[in-house]
Structure formats: C-alpha cells, structure tokens
C-alpha cells in the first residue's frame, strides 16, 4: 500500500472519530494534540553547511481516545522533513511514533501495551515535541546519533520500544516517586514486528520529587542485544536532574554506555567499549517570555581512543505566546579526534504546539 493511501486512511479514521464525538467536555472520547516546527541553520563545518538550509522538521498529530475511565488508546503519527511521496520523488518520513493501549488500575499501577517512546532521560518520552524544549537541538550526547557499529548509527538506547510497560506514581510523605519498567523486542531490522534475537530489550526509569523544592531527580537504564549491530550487547545508564528556583532553571544529565566489541569478522569478543558523556544547562526566564540560556556538553567516545567532544550552546528562547516559540542558538563545537577541529553552527526555529 502506498504511503499516500496510508495517510488518506489515517485522516479518514480521525474524521470518523471526530464525527462521532463531542471534542470538548467530559463526554469527549477523543482529544487531538500536535506540534509543528520549522528550522533554519548554517555552519562553517563544510561547504554544504555554509548554505542556509530551511527544514520543515516536524508535524506530529497525537490522538488520545478514552475508551472508559481506565482504558485509553494513545497514538502519534510523525510527518518529518515535509514528506512527499509520489511518482516523482520520495522525501521525508511518515511513521507511527507511538500506538499503545493503556490500562489504569490506579495512579500507582498502569500498563501500556504496544509501541511507546522508551522512558530514558528527561526528553526521550517527549519525542520531538520541540515546543516543550528550550533549545531547538537536544543535547547530542543523549539524544543524538552515534556510531554504534560500522555504518550503523543511532541513540545509545532504543528511541522507540515495542512491548509491555508497567508504570505508576506513588505519593508518600509528600514525596512523588515515579517508576517505569518495560520489556520489548529491543533494536533490530523490524523492531515493532519481530525480535532479531532471543534477548529482550529491558529498561527502567525512576523519578523522585522531594517536597518543598522544585527538584526532580531521575535515573534510567536500558539494555538489549542490538540487532542492527550484529546482536552486540549494548547497555546505557543515565542520571538526570531538573531544578527550578524562581525564574532560574538548571538541568543536567550524565550517561554511561557499554558497547560490546567485535573483531574484524564481526564476531563478538565479550569485551566492552565504555563511553561517557554529560551536559548541564542554565536558563533564566524574564517576564515569562524571554529565556537566555547556556548549555555545556562533554562526551568521551571511548576511553581507549581518547576521542572527546565538547559543545557549548548559547541560546535565546522567546515565547511569542503560550503555544508559539521562537528560538535562536549558536553551537560552538570542539572535536578532538587526532585533529582538533572547531566549528560553529547557528540554528533558528519556530515551534508551535496545538
């Protein structure tokens, strides 16, 4: 079936739900949300980077269908890079980012069945919802693509998982304690359809919010045998914090990664390459609208190879209104891979939530 037909069917299904429901008030079964963004960037990294480039990056539609008080279906379809699939050209991407059934037994115990964003770090579950980010680009160390195997790049954990998740929130002595644990197919050629190996992807995320202070602490773990990297064992452990004090906002994350090595014949050796990275961000919001910020990132791509990367971001986020955000940022990147190279990138974007 062509992608155009898939899109048409999706829109028809949405129209069907909308026709049959009142979309406001308690009786509404269906709620629709979404976001849109457009970016422009230029850098002095290479000749291609020196050309100003516009990117209609995301257009995502989220639908939440409440079956009853305890069951709901959550789905998100992403149209990335202004997709156009026709006889002449195939550009951009259209894919189902999330689709799961959620059952709520209580606030402390819920279950998700289906395809969901892996609960890892502060941002992964928000997916590409750029209106909720202060910056246009998320920290590369946690949310960027890295070389996991020759010719294979991706995040250090599965961005999206298909399986079962158990989650909940417990309130005790004024502390908010959240947990999420899941089992999935892990990464592979068709991760939402088939598991490439008998080892499942597993992960846990814990969050803690103490009373009387606007602080959130988190820890995440993910492990699988990556079907895209010759079934090498890959493990990631991350910690994070977010704290707000008046108009000041601090956040930071650290990540430790173990990537199983293999020899020139792609036979797994059982030994691990260890990588580490972290970032810190400080932002100050003026009159609820203007937020200047600084972010510092560091990454060591492998202690054995002494490959390090440092990135400083200077940015300004302007809230045009509650749903429209205009962002500007400079990325100053230092790479140390035998040669010490530095390049600067300027990124601007507009992000809208609806």
Partner 1 sequence: MVTTQVKIGSINLLISLLVLIGFLSGPAWGQIAVIVHPGSEIDDISSEQLSRLYLGNTTNLSDGQSVYLMENSQLAIEFYKVTLNLSVSKFRRHWMKLVFSGAYAQPPDPYRSDKKIIEEVAANEGAICFVDIESVTEEVKVVSIDGLKPNQKLYLFPPPKSDKPESGSK
Binding site for partner 1 (CB under 8 A): 24-26, 31, 33, 35, 62, 64, 69-70, 72, 74, 98, 102, 104, 106-107, 110, 116-117, 125-127, 129, 131-132, 169, 171, 174, 176, 288-289, 319, 322-323, 353
d(C-alpha 210, C-alpha 217), whole Å = 9
Q: Give me the least distance between CB of 89 and partner 1, in Å please.
A: 30
d(C-alpha 52, C-alpha 185), whole Å = 40
Q: Which residues, other chains included, contact 50 with Cβ-Cβ below 8 Å and sequence gap of 6+?
A: 42, 43, 44
Characterize the bridge pairing of strands 175-184 and 201-209. antiparallel
Q: Give me the least distance between CB of 314 and partner 1, in Å please.
A: 22
In the bound state with partner 1, the residue whose beta carbon lies nearer, of 115 and 331, is 115
Characterize the bridge pairing of strands 152-154 and 290-300. unpaired
In the bound state with partner 1, the residue whose beta carbon lies nearer, of 69 and 340, is 69
Distances (CA, A) of 82 to 59, 85, 205: 8, 10, 33
Q: Which residues, other chains included, contact 244 with Cβ-Cβ below 8 Å and sequence gap of 6+?
A: 214, 250
Q: Give me the least distance between CB of 202 and partner 1, in Å please.
A: 19
In the bound state with partner 1, the residue whose beta carbon lies nearer, of 74 and 79, is 74
In the bound state with partner 1, the residue whose beta carbon lies nearer, of 323 and 342, is 323
Rg (CA), the chain: 21
In this structure, the number of other CB atoms found within 10 A of the CB of residue 171 comes to 11
Q: Give me the least distance between CB of 29 and partner 1, in Å please.
A: 12
In the bound state with partner 1, the residue whose beta carbon lies nearer, of 283 and 311, is 283
Q: Give me the least distance between CB of 235 and partner 1, in Å please.
A: 24
In the bound state with partner 1, the residue whose beta carbon lies nearer, of 129 and 335, is 129
State the DSSP H helix or E strand holding residue 141, giving kind and residue range, or none if neither: helix 140-143
Which residue's structure tokens are 């300027």? 346
In the bound state with partner 1, the residue whose beta carbon lies nearer, of 133 and 262, is 133
In this structure, are residues 323 and 296 in contact, taking their beta carbons and an 8 Å threshold? no
In the bound state with partner 1, the residue whose beta carbon lies nearer, of 102 and 329, is 102
Retrieve residue 186's tokens: 């892990």
d(C-alpha 138, C-alpha 123), whole Å = 8
Q: Give me the least distance between CB of 153 and partner 1, in Å please.
A: 25
Q: Give me the least distance between CB of 40 and partner 1, in Å please.
A: 23
State the DSSP H helix or E strand holding residue 8, giving kind and residue range, or none if neither: helix 3-19
In the bound state with partner 1, the residue whose beta carbon lies nearer, of 163 and 227, is 163
Q: Give me the least distance between CB of 239 and partner 1, in Å please.
A: 18
d(C-alpha 190, C-alpha 188), whole Å = 6
Q: Give me the least distance between CB of 245 and partner 1, in Å please.
A: 12
Q: Which residues, other chains included, contact 167 with Cβ-Cβ below 8 Å and sequence gap of 6+?
A: 110, 111, 112, 119, 178, 179, 180, 181
In this structure, are residues 282 and 293 in contact, taking their beta carbons and an 8 Å threshold? yes
């Amino acid at each position: 079936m062509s992608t155009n037909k898939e899109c048409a069917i999706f829109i028809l299904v949405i129209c069907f739900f909308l026709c049959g429901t009142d979309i406001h008030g308690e009786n509404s079964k269906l709620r629709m949300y979404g976001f849109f963004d457009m970016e422009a960037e230029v850098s002095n990294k290479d000749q291609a980077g020196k050309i100003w480039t516009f990117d209609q990056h995301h257009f995502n539609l989220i639908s939440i269908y409440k079956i009853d008080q305890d069951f709901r279906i959550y789905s998100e379809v992403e149209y990335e890079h202004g997709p156009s699939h026709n006889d002449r050209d195939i550009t951009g991407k259209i894919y189902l980012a999330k689709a799961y059934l959620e059952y709520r037994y209580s606030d402390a115990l819920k279950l998700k069945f289906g395809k969901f964003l892996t609960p890892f770090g502060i941002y992964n579950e928000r997916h590409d919802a750029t209106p909720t980010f202060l910056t246009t680009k998320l920290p590369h160390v946690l949310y960027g693509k890295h070389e996991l195997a020759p010719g294979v790049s991706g995040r250090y954990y599965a961005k999206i998982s298909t399986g079962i998740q158990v989650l909940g929130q417990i309130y005790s002595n004024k502390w908010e304690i959240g947990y999420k644990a899941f089992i999935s197919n892990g990464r592979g050629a068709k991760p939402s359809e088939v598991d490439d190996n008998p080892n499942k992807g597993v992960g846990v995320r814990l969050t803690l919010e103490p009373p009387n202070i606007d602080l959130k602490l988190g820890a995440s773990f993910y492990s699988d045998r990556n079907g895209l990297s010759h079934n090498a064992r890959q493990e990631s452990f991350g910690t994070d914090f977010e704290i707000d004090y008046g108009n000041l906002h601090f956040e930071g994350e650290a990540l430790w990664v173990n990537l199983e090595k293999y020899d020139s014949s792609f036979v797994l050796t059982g030994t691990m390459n260890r990588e580490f990275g972290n970032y810190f961000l400080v932002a100050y919001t003026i009159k609820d609208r203007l937020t200047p910020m600084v972010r510092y990132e560091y990454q060591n791509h492998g202690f054995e190879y002494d490959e390090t990367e440092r990135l400083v971001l200077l940015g300004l986020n302007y809230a045009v209104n509650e749903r429209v955000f205009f962002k500007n940022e400079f990325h100053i990147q230092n790479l140390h891979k035998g040669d010490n190279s530095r390049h600067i990138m300027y990124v601007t974007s507009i992000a809208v939530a609806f």
